[in-house]
Chain A
Amino acid sequence: MKTDVLVIGAGAAGMAAALSAAKNGARVILTDRDERAGGILNQCIHNGFGLHYFKEELTGPEYAERFSTLLENYQITLLTDCHVHNVKPDRKAVLVSPKGVFEVETKSIVYTAGARERPFGTLMIPGDRPSGIFTAGVAQKYMNIENRIIGKRALILGSGDIGMIMARRLTLEGVEVVAVIERLPYSGGLLRNVIQCLEDYNIPLYLSSTVVEVRGKERLEEVVVAQVDNNYRPIPGTERIFKVDTLVLSVGLIPQVELLWGLVQLDPISKGVSCSNIGQSSSEWIFSAGNCTVVYDLVDYVTMEGEKAGKYAAHYAKGERFETGVPIEIGENVGVIFPRRYVSGEDLVLYIRSKKPIEGATLVVGNFERRFEDVMPSEMIRIKIPSQKIMGFERIVVSLKEE
């Protein structure tokens, strides 16, 4: 098969990229290993999506359907049940599906493979290895797609948004959620979820605490929780035993980049594909967007970045070429930023996570300044920097200055 733009992954970023590439005149192949488009949105049945993009509040499946129904109106070939096995430097990809193994020759790629959940094994928690331990996304799929209940009494490790949303979901479905455990001294997710998912249902949130042991013969029986010090080391003597048959982990997402190893530069901090503000990677024919570049809070932003990457991938396929751009660097108090290079022409849309909670912080980018009343690492800042404020700089440093 031959195409102009190959989009890998049909989640929020991929659907937006495919549509935008097609609108810009490209022939598009959109692939996904799931049996339908939509990605993780399909299992996120809660509301809270679409306020920025559609100006109305939607659930995940509704948000996905808005895009998947549009795909049919354009020159887009959707290949579901289709895994991309390999991407080669000569601009060919090897695809595997129930129909067989085949090659796609493309002019450009938009890589939109999303992120994976950090698994239990990486946490190095001592104890037994019984059943009953799930990542939040797996628990979500069992409950919201497959109609399976995952246990009777649950503890949740990690107060990221998915963890809190699953705490509410489990409670509504009749599973007793005894507590949410968070290693940091503050919640890892949005404040609204602390309120509408935990406080509404009287689920306690234990901060500066972590799981130090799991016990159980076949099924999980007990989880040992301890308080941690400033360096996240458990404090001896603070252990508490929770008798639960289920442990749900919401301990972070890791951009999925293995397919592009050796082909593109990765951001050493976000661990995602390093991109310019037009979504171009270090390999000029590979564009990328969404959670495989940096982990976002809101799907609306993923859609917007997907559209941008799709548009420029289509222009690239038509023969247009772009400058590498000037580097964007991390300054004071900044944890994660996206993008990492600035190509002039468009205003710069920056995504920033602070390194720590700060009350009264001034964001400085080139000649641009903006004060924020308070910033939190769990709440990503999105801000448009006008091009005239960053013109002429050889490198753009992004910092959050404390007062």
Chain B
Amino acid sequence: MDRIVCVQCPVGCKIKFEIVDGKIAKVEGNKCPRGLAYLEDELREPKRIVPTSVKIIGGNYPLVSVKTSAPIPKKYIPELMKKLRQIEINAPVKAGDIIVKNIFDTGVDIIATRTVSKNSQ
């Protein structure tokens, strides 16, 4: 059987699987359903959550950390980084705020993962 390590969470289940006629015929080793979804994506189109940060103006920090609200296809990552490097947003920002909606038409948003208040000085 083929082997793959699930990267959905730090447990890192070692999933064993078998492909028959292009379909997954047998799966074992995943401790949760996310492992199966990961395996399916990995075979068709690998996806990742991308954590990074964008510039923020007038905040108590120069950066606000962000992430994709769901895994996006790996092939978009370089383009995504390029786009986020050009963005500057204004403080304040709350964790959970949408920074970019529906990036590259994937249905995935870029959301803030940190609250940055306005610089009081």
Contacts and interface: CB of A to CB of B under 8 A. Distances in A.
B62 A61 contact: no
Given A45-B53, A192-B7, A172 B81 contact: yes
Contact of A48 (B10, B52, B81): B10
Contacts of A191: 5, 12, 14
Given A191-B5, A192-B5, A195-B7, A62 B12 contact: no
Interface in A281-338: 297-298
A97 interface: no
Contact of A62 (B53, B74, B81, B113): B113
Given A65-B115, A145-B63, A146-B62, A59 B10 contact: no
Nearest to B96: A62
Interface in A237-255: none
Nearest to B7: A192
A147 B95 contact: no
Contacts of A46: 51
Contact of B52 (A45, A51, A192, A298): A45
B93 to A, nearest CB: 11
B5 A51 contact: no
Contacts of B6: 192
Interface in A126-156: 144-147
A61 B95 contact: yes
Interface in B52-102: 52-53, 55, 61-63, 65, 67, 74, 77, 81, 95
Contacts of B53: 45, 144, 147
A190 interface: yes
Contacts of B10: 48, 51, 190, 192, 297-298
Nearest to B48: A196
Contacts of B115: 65
Contacts of B12: 190-192, 379
Nearest to A64: B114
Contacts of A59: 51, 65, 67, 113
Contacts of B63: 144-147
Contacts of B11: 51
B55 A147 contact: yes
Interface string B7-34: 1111110100000000000000000000
B9 A45 contact: no
A298 B63 CA distance: 25
A89 B102 CA distance: 58
A173 B53 CA distance: 10
A187 to B, nearest CB: 11
Interface string A371-399: 00100000100000000000000000000
Contacts of A192: 5-7, 9-10, 12
Contact of A200 (B51, B65, B74, B81): B74
A72 to B, nearest CB: 13
B65 A144 contact: yes
Contacts of B7: 192, 195-196
B48 A45 contact: no
B115 to A, nearest CB: 6
Given A61-B114, A62-B95, A48 B9 contact: yes
A380 to B, nearest CB: 10
A200 B48 contact: yes
A58 B95 CA distance: 11
Nearest to B94: A65
B37 interface: no
B120 to A, nearest CB: 13
A147 B85 CA distance: 12
B106 to A, nearest CB: 17
22 contacts: A42-B114, A45-B51, A45-B114, A46-B51, A47-B49, A47-B51, A47-B67, A48-B10, A59-B65, A61-B95, A65-B95, A65-B114, A145-B63, A146-B63, A147-B55, A147-B63, A172-B52, A173-B52, A174-B81, A195-B5, A200-B48, A297-B10
Interface of A: 42, 45-48, 51, 57-59, 61-62, 65, 144-147, 172-174, 190-192, 195-196, 200, 297-298, 373, 379
Interface of B: 5-12, 14, 48-53, 55, 61-63, 65, 67, 74, 77, 81, 95, 113-115
Q: Which 8 A-B pairs have the closest CB atoms?
A: A61-B114, A45-B65, A192-B7, A147-B62, A192-B12, A59-B113, A51-B9, A196-B7
